[in-house]
Amino acid sequence: MAELKREGDDLVLHLSTTEKLEGAHGDLRAPVSSIVTAEVLDNAHAAADIIGFRVGTRLPGVIEVASVHGFKKTIFAAVHHNTPRGVRISFQGADQDEWVVGCNDPEGELRALDLPTT
């Protein structure tokens, strides 16, 4: 399962080996200073469902592990059927505009990372 961690001045999204294969992507890294907001999502699958060019794996409502290059933004999603809730982290000036990450305790995740929330 994908795991968010603060490493120095960066936020890192560590992907499992399976997620790296599913998403055709390695771990992601962005400066904490580029974070605009972070929010809890009750339905992380819906947040990952934007229209655009998708590289990775997607079965709607089951699994979204992919980069999505939409008309107005680029996101990376790592959401599974067993983690339908999650967090959305919005960036300015990073490689992606948003990360959508499924997790069991999104409120606790954001508290532990000490990120700016909406």
- pLDDT confidence tier of residue 115, bands split at 50, 70 and 90: confident
* Structural domain that includes position 109: 3-113
Q: What does the pLDDT read at residue 100?
A: 96
70-105: per-residue pLDDT in tens?
888 999 999 999 989 999 999 999 999 999 999 999
Residue 28 lies in a domain: yes
Residue 85 included in any domain: yes
**Residue 107 pLDDT greater than 70, yes or no:** yes
Total number of domains in the chain: 1
Residue 118 lies in a domain: no
CB atoms within 10 A of CB 95: 12
Burial pattern 103-112, b for ≥16 Cβ within 10 A else e, equals: beebeebbee
pLDDT of residue 116: 66
Pairing mode, strands 98-102 and 74-80? parallel
Q: Is residue 27 part of a domain?
A: yes
d(CA 84, CA 101): 9
Give the separation between CA 65 and CA 77, rounded to whole angstroms.
5
pLDDT value for 118: 64
Whether 66 maps to a domain, the answer reads yes
Give dist(CA 96, CA 5) in Å, integer: 17
In a domain, 20, yes or no: yes
Q: What is the pLDDT of residues 25-50, one digit of tens each?
A: 999 999 999 999 999 999 999 988 87
For residue 76, tell me if it sits in a domain. Answer: yes
